[in-house]
Amino acid sequence: MSSPFTFVSDFDGVWTNPRRELQAVHQTVQTNLRRMCGWSQEQLEEVYGYFREQVLQRPHQHGWRIDGTFSSFVDEDYFAVPRKRLLSTEYLARRAREVERDRASDSANVVPGLKGRESEETTHYVVVDASGNVVSSTTTLNGSFGSCLVAKGTGILLNNEMDDFSVRPGTPNLYGLVGGVANQVEAGKRMLSSMTPTIVLRDGRPVLAVGSPGGSTIITTVFQVLIGVLDEGLPLDRAVGRSRFHHQWLPDTLFLERGGSYPSGWKESLQRRGHRVEIRSPIGNVQAVSIDIESGRRSGVSDPRGSGRSAGVDTGQVEKKSGK
C-alpha cells in the first residue's frame, strides 16, 4: 500500500546564493559588511531602514509573505521573483533614498518599490489585418480572480459579471456604481457593462478602433480619446496620452490623474464651483489603431500609462515563412 505522505528524502536540496543580496546592500549603503561590528549608530539605522524598506516590502509581490506575526519565503521554482531588477544598483539606490535618516518611518507606509500592480481586471486589444478586417476586443474578469472558479480542464477563470447587476437597488457595486430596479437580477437577463470596445467607420470603412480597461472609467476614457481624434483633430498618440478626468454620478467626485497636465488653476476653479475633486492613479489604459483610408496606413498606439505596446507584422515575411 502506497503512503499518502511525501517524505523529506524525496526532495532534492537546492543551493542558492544569498551573498548577492548582501553585496547589493553593501553597494547601496556604501558600507563594508566585513566591518559590521564597527558600524556607527547612523549606519546601523540606515541598514535597518533599508532592510525594512527593501526587504520587507517584497512579500506583497516578490515571493515573501508577511502577516504581521510571521514571514516566510516561497519557492522561486513556483514564483517568479524579479531578482535582476530587485538587485539593480538603480533600484537599490532609489529605495535607500526613501529611508528617513532623522526619524523612524511608519512601517504601514512601506509599499512595494516595483510597479507590478495589476490593471483593473480587464484587458483590451485591437487587431487590424492586411485585408482591413478590424477587431476591438475588451475581455474581463471584473474582480480579482473573477468568480474564483476555473472551467474544468481549461485553466480559464470565470468572471464575476454578476456584480454588474444591481444586487440591491441603491447599493454600490465593486466600482462604486449605483444601479436601480431596471438593472436588478432576473433570469435570462443581461447585466449592464461599462466595457466599450469601439470601431469608428467613415463611409462604411473603419478609420479608428479603440478601447480600454478601467471598470467604471472605461466609458469616459474612450469618449475622451474619440473627442480628441474626431472633434479636435489630434494625432492618435496625443489623444491617448493626454491627461484624463472621470465622473460617474456617484460617488459625487470628479477624479483627476495624479501628475496630470491640466490647465493652470483648473482644479481650484472647479472646487470654488462646488465640485469635489480627488486625485487618483492613472485613468484607463487605451489601446488603439487608426487607419488612413487613402493610403491604408495603420498607426497603433499603446497608452503610456500601461505596459502594453503596439506592433506591426510584415505579412510578406509571414507568408514566406509559411511557404505561401
**Sequence-separated (6 or more) residues with CB below 8 Å from residue 279:** 255, 256, 257, 258
Model pLDDT, residue 12:
56
**Sequence-separated (6 or more) residues with CB below 8 Å from residue 139:** 122, 123, 124
Residue type, 181: V
What b/e string do you get for 128-166 counting C-beta neighbours within 10 Å, with b at 16 or more? Answer: beeeeebebebebbbbeebeeeeeeeeeeeebbbebbbb
Alpha-carbon span 256 to 53, nearest angstrom: 29
pLDDT in tens, 102-154: 777 777 777 767 665 555 568 999 999 988 999 999 999 888 888 999 999 99
Model pLDDT, residue 297:
92
pLDDT in tens, 218-251: 999 999 999 999 999 999 999 999 999 999 998 9
Give the cell for residue 54: 527593501
pTM across the whole model: 0.64
| CATH 3.60.20.40 segments of the chain | 122-140+193-314
1.20.1420, 1.10.15, 1.10.10, 1.10.246: CATH of 17-109 = 1.10.246
pLDDT in tens, 264-300: 999 999 999 999 999 999 999 999 999 999 999 999 9
pLDDT in tens, 18-76: 545 545 544 444 444 334 445 555 655 665 565 555 544 444 443 333 333 233 345 66
Q: In what helix (H) or strand (E) does residue 207 lie, and over which residues does it extend?
A: strand 205-211
| CATH 1.10.246 segments of the chain | 17-109
pLDDT in tens, 188-214: 999 888 999 999 999 999 999 999 999
Which residues face 150 on adjacent strands? 157
Q: In what helix (H) or strand (E) does residue 68 lie, and over which residues does it extend?
A: none
3.30.2230.10, 3.40.50.620, 3.60.20.40, 1.10.1040.50: CATH of 122-140+193-314 = 3.60.20.40
Active site residues: 122
- Of 208, 232, 39, which Cα lies nearest the Cα of 134? 208
